[in-house]
A and B are shown apart, each in its own frame.
Chain A
Amino acid sequence: MIELTGAGVRLGGRGIFGDVELRVDAGQFVAVLGPNGAGKSTLMRVIPGLVRLDTGSVAVLGRPPAQVRSAIGYLPQRHGFDPSTRIRGIDLVRLGLDGARWGIPVALTRTARERRRAETARVEEVIALVGATEYARRPIGELSGGEQQRLLIAQALVREPELLILDEPLDSLDLPNQAAVAGLLRRVCTTQHVSVLLVAHDVNPLLPYLDQVIYMAGGRARSGSADEVITSATLSDLYGAPIEVLQTQDGRLVVVGQPEAPHHHAPRHELVT
């Protein structure tokens, strides 16, 4: 599904990461973890071809990213819609289907009308899949973070991608919603046969579902099962500093001793050209 070999990116003269080896198989549910500025978002942007590698190679479905763009659903990191945005959730989802289509948006021929009907049905179907039917006709800006996130997931899913990449989809959600959206993504992964790759700050809401973890720190990355990667030994090696991974009684993982994120790095939203 995804294969990175010796992958490295430099942005603005600064190395973001280097020598990243990575392999994600079809149908896997994968979390990308690590401190701020470790290059998680950049890695997520390499896969849909939004950032080019400076060293090494990337293949998605065995091809260069630019050639398989339509098979990739990418959900950028975002901070919610402005409350006054006068657009309905359902229209947002529909833009997932036809937002990149040029031409007059009026169905004139019979085939165009039939296609439009099929697309409307597909939009309703995917909204039902993420459980957003109830609020899909309300203005997107008035919805809660969790509701917006579900509709954005529907928007990414509506074209039936083979790979779904989400940059911090659980960010700014409360704990019950984090668990619900994580569960939804796992269900989508299994029932829709989509590989899911997501960036997360906290691995705990995802722990029950993960096939693989990619941990990025200090310009490098380690991947494997959560048990293999989130250990004191592996993380200490990645950070180059003593790190302790503790497990609470209910199975939650706590990482102790992470050095503060480096302060010289640009704010994340300035990173990419």
Chain B
Amino acid sequence: MTPSLSPDPISDLNALFTFPFMVNALMAGTIVAVLAAVVGWYMVLRRQSFAGHTLSVMAFPGAAGAALIGLPTALGYYLACGSAALVMRGARGSLRRGRGTETATIATVQTVGLAAGFLFLSLNSAVLGGTETLLFGTFLGVSRGQVLTLLLVALAALALIAVAARPLLLETIDPEAARARGLPVAALDTGFLLLLAAAVAATSQITGALLVFALLVAPAAAAQQVTMRPLPGLVLSVVFALAIVWLGLGIAYFSIYPVGFYVTSIAFAVYLVARVSRAMAERRRV
């Protein structure tokens, strides 16, 4: 079923909202975009993109494994990402060894994760849409219940970030200074990894495990190219993410190609434009 574009843009827009599955997809996409953009902004600033990538790779065996033993895939995403975050935090040990030091071990575990996910799917390919769906995303078959779960997870995560916004920023830029100010640095660090896990698990359900970065990194990184100020940066990151999701879903609706491709391409374009415009602005100033 591939609806075609008519000459009338209004009717095309209306067509987007005709089917419940599309309305669900748009709602889920909107929720996920806001969550990923905010968590992603901190993640990029904290240089934890690799941690985010690891979590997204672990989302795949999580979902596949959950389906294999008859649990909801959404639960599989959250459980796998959450426990991967805790393991990663534990493996790093002392905070003073710094973020981003956990590369080799984690990279090895990632490979096993992908392989395990593939095995789970091979054992059970009938139930799921298959490897492609889990890795590269789909907007078909997002249920009302799934949207509701996404909303609750996103609201909880965003509320936590709102309350901890400034301490988390200080801990991100200067952990030592944060500790000296009496902030619970270890808890902030672990807490953020868990929030990242939640954001990855939520985003995976729309973009697939491998294309999570289209919403987690690209909008945040683009926003940080445009502005260095924290609050405007966060807002811009959300705006970019929403634009990416809405455009991606809208185009995918009228196209035979998968949504992941459009979301990723638009995200890449946004980042490219931000990067180039910053370079041009800097050249003008010199």
Residues of A bordering B, CB below 8 Å: 48, 50, 66, 69, 74-76, 78, 81-82, 85-88, 91-92, 95, 98-106, 139, 155, 269-270, 272-273
The verdict on A103 contacting B163 (CB below 8 Å), with A86-B45, A139-B228 known, is yes
Instruction: Contact check, B228 vs A91: say whether CB atoms are below 8 A apart.
Output: yes
The reply to whether B176 and A95 contact each other, CB–CB distance below 8 Å, is no
9-residue interface stretch from B80-88, B178-186, B204-212: B178-186
Name the contact of A99 in the complex, choosing from B170, B225, B228, B229 (C-beta under 8 A).
Answer: B170
Nearest CB in chain B: distance from A261 CB, A: 20
Taken together as a complex, chains A and B put the C-alpha atoms of A179 and B225 apart, in Å, by 35
- State whether A95 and B173 are in contact (beta carbons under 8 Å apart), knowing that A87-B45, A88-B229, A269-B96 are contacts in the complex: yes
Contact B169 A86 (CB under 8 A): no
Complex Cα–Cα for A88 and B63 (A): 41
Known: A50-B179, A102-B166. 7 other contacts (CB 8 A): A76-B176, A76-B177, A78-B176, A87-B228, A91-B229, A100-B166, A100-B181
Q: Which residues of A contact B177 (CB under 8 A)?
A: 74-76, 95, 99, 155
Q: What range describes how many residues of B lie at the interface?
A: 20 to 34
CB distance from B234 to the nearest CB of A (A): 10
A81 contacts across to B, CB distance below 8 A:
173
Query: Mostly helix, strand, loop or mixed at chain B's interface?
Result: helix
Assembled-state Cα–Cα distance A21/B99 (Å): 38
- Give the contacting residue for B228; candidates A50, A86, A98; CB below 8 A: A86
Given contacts A95-B169, A105-B165, A105-B231, contact A82 B180 (CB under 8 A): no
Q: Across the interface, do A99 and B176 meet the contact criterion of CB distance under 8 Å?
A: no
Nearest residue in A to B172 (C-beta to C-beta)?
A87
Task: Give the shortest distance, in Å, between A63 (CB) and chain B (any CB).
Answer: 15
A104 contacts across to B, CB distance below 8 A: 162-163, 165
| Residue of A95, A139, A155 contacting most chain B CB atoms (<10 Å) | A95
CB distance from A131 to the nearest CB of B (A): 21
Chain B's closest residue to A156 (CB) is: B177
